[in-house]
């Protein structure tokens, strides 16, 4: 089911403010730094300051949904829909990789003492990344806000061998973190609510 945002007006904001609003939508919150973009969004009632962090206000979530939704039936939206449908198939595989990275057979926590076991999982991730890479690059060339995802995924992948946190930790821009942000961005682009998301068979 698509989100009905056709009646939602898109406010006039600077490019920096939109970039910050988009980042907040994908991350959930970020530290407040008192930048002009933050002040612009706060004055517009689109973000809230909660302690030391910024978070989206309901109006900000609505404004972002209207801004992020690609024009229906445009070339960009057609590509985004195709990308999204293929991504869902890759996502099933990726989530299985993450589960196996955290749990060994028998639901035993993976303490990463078995180098051969971890290596096999990282090989699976390498193969998935290679197949998904072309998909991510293509949408990045067509829709500018997707342009950074390929590089961010590659950077995280390259760091895993030195620090296991770069596969699935929520405390850094791990492969999992970037992958989930890409997922959310695709949902926004095609106007699909995550709760209504169909799973590939």
pLDDT, residue 199, reads 72
How remote is the C-alpha of 62 from its chain's centroid?
Answer: 18
In which band, very low, low, confident or very high, does the pLDDT at 201 lie, cut at 50, 70 and 90?
Answer: low
CA distance linking residue 167 with residue 185, whole number of Å: 20
The pLDDT of residue 37: 95
pLDDT tops 70 at residue 8:
no
How far apart are alpha carbons 166 and 125 in whole angstroms? 12
Tens digits of residue pLDDT in 96-136: 999 999 999 999 999 999 999 999 999 999 999 999 999 99
Q: What is the pTM of this model?
A: 0.90
DSSP 156-175: HHHHTTT-THHHH-TTTT-H
pLDDT in tens, 183-195: 999 999 999 988 7
Cβ distance 183 to 80 under 8 Å?
A: no
Structural tokens at position 39: 């002040």
- DSSP alpha helix (H) spans, the chain: 15-27, 36-43, 58-68, 75-102, 115-142, 149-159, 165-168, 175-190
**pLDDT top residue among 10 and 26:** 26
At residue 197, the pLDDT reads: 77
Between 49 and 146, residue with greater pLDDT: 146
Q: Is the pLDDT of residue 1 over 80?
A: no
Quick one: which H or E segment has residue 55?
strand 53-56
**What mean pLDDT is reported for the chain?**
92
pLDDT at 104: 94
Q: What is the pLDDT of residue 6?
A: 44
Q: Which two tokens stand for residue 122?
A: 């990282």
**What whole-number distance in Å separates Cα of residue 56 and Cα of residue 107?**
37
pLDDT of residue 68: 96
Tokens of 113: 């003492």
Residue 3 has pLDDT above 70, yes or no: no
The 10s digit of each residue's pLDDT in 139-169 is: 999 999 999 999 999 999 999 999 999 999 9
pLDDT computed for residue 4 by the predictor: 44
């Amino acid at each position: 089911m698509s989100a009905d945002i056709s009646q939602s007006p898109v406010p006039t904001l600077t490019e920096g403010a939109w970039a910050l609003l988009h980042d907040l939508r994908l991350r959930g919150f970020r530290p407040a730094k008192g930048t002009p973009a933050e002040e612009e969004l706060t004055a517009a009632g689109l973000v809230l300051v909660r302690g030391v962090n910024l978070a989206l206000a309901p109006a900000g979530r609505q404004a972002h949904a209207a801004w992020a939704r690609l024009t229906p039936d445009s070339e960009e939206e057609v590509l985004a829909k195709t990308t999204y449908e293929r991504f869902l198939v890759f996502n099933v595989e990726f989530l299985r990789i993450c589960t196996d990275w955290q749990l060994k057979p028998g639901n035993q926590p993976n303490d990463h003492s078995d180098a051969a076991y971890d290596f096999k999982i990282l090989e699976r991730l390498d193969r998935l990344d290679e197949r998904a890479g072309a998909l991510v690059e293509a949408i990045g060339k067509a829709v500018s806000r997707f342009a950074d995802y390929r590089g961010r995924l590659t950077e995280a992948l390259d760091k895993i061998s030195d620090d296991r946190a770069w596969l699935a930790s929520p405390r850094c821009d791990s492969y999992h973190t970037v992958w989930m942000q890409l997922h959310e961005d695709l949902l926004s682009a095609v106007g699909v609510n995550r709760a209504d998301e169909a799973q590939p068979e």
